[in-house]
Amino acid sequence: MKIQETGQGIVIEILVKPKSKQFQAKIEDDRIVVFCREAPMKGKVNRELTKEFSRLFKRRVQIISGFTSRQKKLLIADVNVEEVREILSAISQSRLCD
């Protein structure tokens, strides 16, 4: 998993797979793979990502790179690396879904 600490928060890299049956995040081959329900049209996947990750981390989350790509970088504000690793390891233990 690529986790980088910055002055504004933590940046994580994810791979998005749209048009899935349910929203789910997994760790595969040391990568964060996120399955989104929405189709990649008019920013729907990006909105779903920021909403679901904000709920998961209970913090403000924004996309900083990859707006039109499957590979994205998310900035999670006001959190430390240990907390991010803890939440992401919980994702790998179980699945994140609505």
Structure tokens at 74: 């998310």
The predicted structure's pLDDT at residue 9: 95
The pLDDT tens digits of the residues spanning 48-64 come to 999 999 999 999 999 99
- The DSSP-derived string for 26-87 is EEETTEEEEE-SS-SSTTHHHHHHHHHHHHHHTS-EEEEE-TTSSEEEEEEES--HHHHHHH
The model's confidence at residue 97, banded by pLDDT at 50, 70 and 90, is very low
CATH class of the domain at 3-93:
alpha beta
- Please give the Cα distance from 46 to 72 (Å, whole number): 9
The predicted structure's pLDDT at residue 1: 79
